[in-house]
């Protein structure tokens, strides 16, 4: 019964509202950009958290077991502080700052400066509670959530990143993909009863080892964002994911050590932030090359595929090169469009994948199909603004 009541208390914390507000804002902004660039909406609303639920739930179960069984206690003031940091980084409009390394790292830095606050502030009960917070609980959260972040990156497929069109250094059109993932990781946490009763006397408590605790379901918000221009989106995502996984292993080892030598907890925070910065600095260095999505003399590069469209059903993937449509060579988007118009009720497409291997896909065409099968390309066609998706 206490766990069921703990689920209801989830709505007393701001995490869920911040997550919903963030995904509504970002998806609306993305759709506006897609309509402006491609003349149609490419991805549905809330696609930023699509496909994250199973990984997030598994991570939440692991955190719940580790936290409750291990006696890790998170005070209510600490949860409010974390939510405040989350709200603060949300104002940037970038999911990059929603990594647990930043949200929990900034929270830990706040805890470190509390002893230096003016003397009159030290008398507040919430300040006293925060000063007594051990950093080990924060580092456990950070390590598990960083593993979750790495798994979400490793599971990224070519259809999970969002295409964008921009101008290159020479004024030519090039394509890029923006990865955005927002996940809600729900886990049960113990809250000390003494910290709850002064402002929530109605909060049910349980007794463990002679001490009273409340249980609350914390919907922790986890996010990540990355931009890919010089390599395929899937390759870039998995590379970042592997490096993040290695960083999570290092942080977990330091976290275990912090239970025996508490000052290591501060090292966990520092190493986490430094590792995260190095990972994305390395990613930006790998991006310093010829744009992956650009005009090609042997065909037309697929920049994006609209989900559930004819192209998606045919198995076409962003980054592949369309070389022929019904044996008609195509070298531009206009030629591709004309070839489709001349093929009648059937389309057979020859594509070259990232490895340089050719393959054929085919499908019958219907009047209800998207005028370009649901594909978007690097160069904007002259008719793209006048022909919609429906």
| CA distance to 307, 321, 352, 353, per residue, from 359 (Å) | 21, 10, 6, 8
Interval 373-384: pLDDT, tens: 889 988 776 544
Interval 166-191: pLDDT, tens: 888 777 889 999 999 999 999 988 87
* Token pair belonging to 260: 């025996």
Interval 233-251: pLDDT, tens: 999 999 999 999 999 999 9
Q: Residue 35, class by beta-carbon neighbours within 10 Å (0-12 exposed, 13-18 middle, 19+ buried)?
A: middle
* 3: pLDDT strictly greater than 90: no
> So what's the pLDDT on residue 30?
95
This prediction's pTM: 0.86
Interval 22-39: pLDDT, tens: 999 999 999 999 999 888
Q: In this structure, is the dihedral angle defined by the CA atoms of residues 227, 233, 234 and 236, taken in order, positive or negative?
A: negative
Of 18-32, 249-263, 266-280, 340-354, the range with the lowest mean pLDDT is 340-354
Neighbouring-strand partners of residue 219: 186
Cβ neighbours for 3, distance < 8 A, ≥ 6 positions apart: 188, 215
Interval 85-115: pLDDT, tens: 999 999 999 999 999 999 999 999 999 888 8
Q: Using N-to-C axis directions, what is the helix angle for 100-113 and 76-90, rounded to 10°? A: 120
* 269: pLDDT strictly greater than 70: yes
* Residue, of 211 and 43, whose pLDDT is higher: 43
How many percent of the chain have pLDDT more than 70?
86
> So what's the pLDDT on residue 332?
84
Res. 199 pLDDT band, cuts 50 70 90: very low
Residue 51, phi-psi category: left (phi > 0), alpha (psi -120 to 50), beta (remainder): left
């Amino acid at each position: 019964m206490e766990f069921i009541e703990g689920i209801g208390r989830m709505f007393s914390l701001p995490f869920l509202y911040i997550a919903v507000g963030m995904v509504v804002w970002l998806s609306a902004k993305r759709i506006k950009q897609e309509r402006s660039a491609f003349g149609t909406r490419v991805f549905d609303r809330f696609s930023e958290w699509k496909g994250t639920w199973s990984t997030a739930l598994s991570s939440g179960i692991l955190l719940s077991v580790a936290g409750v069984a291990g006696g890790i206690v998170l005070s209510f003031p600490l949860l409010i502080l974390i939510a405040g940091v989350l709200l603060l980084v949300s104002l940037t409009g970038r999911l990059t700052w929603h990594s647990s390394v930043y949200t929990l790292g900034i929270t830990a830095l706040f805890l470190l400066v509390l002893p230096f606050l003016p003397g009159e502030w030290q008398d507040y009960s919430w300040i006293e509670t925060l000063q007594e917070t051990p950093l080990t609980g924060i580092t456990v959260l950070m390590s598990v959530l960083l593993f979750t972040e790495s798994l979400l990156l490793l599971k990224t497929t070519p259809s999970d990143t969002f295409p964008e069109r921009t101008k290159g250094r020479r004024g030519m059109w090039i394509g890029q993909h923006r990865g955005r993932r927002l996940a809600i990781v729900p886990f049960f946490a113990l809250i000390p009863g003494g910290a709850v009763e002064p402002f929530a006397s109605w909060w049910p408590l349980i007794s463990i080892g002679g001490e009273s605790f409340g249980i609350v379901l914390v919907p922790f918000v986890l996010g990540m964002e990355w931009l890919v221009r010089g390599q395929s989106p899937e390759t870039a995502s998995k590379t970042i994911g592997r490096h993040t996984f290695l960083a999570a292993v290092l942080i977990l080892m330091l976290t275990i050590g912090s239970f025996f030598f508490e000052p290591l907890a501060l090292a966990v925070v520092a190493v986490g932030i430094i590792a995260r910065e190095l990972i994305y600095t390395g990613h930006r260095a790998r991006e310093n090359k010829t744009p992956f999505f650009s005009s090609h003399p042997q065909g037309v590069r697929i920049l994006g595929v609209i989900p559930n469209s004819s192209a998606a059903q045919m198995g076409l993937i962003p980054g592949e090169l369309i070389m022929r449509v019904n044996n008609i060579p195509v070298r531009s988007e206009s030629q591709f469009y004309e070839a489709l118009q001349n093929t009648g009720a059937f389309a057979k497409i020859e594509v070259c994948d990232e490895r340089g291997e050719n393959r054929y896909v085919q499908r019958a065409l219907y009047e209800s199909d998207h005028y370009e099968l649901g594909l978007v390309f690097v160069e904007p066609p002259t008719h793209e603004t006048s022909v919609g998706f429906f």
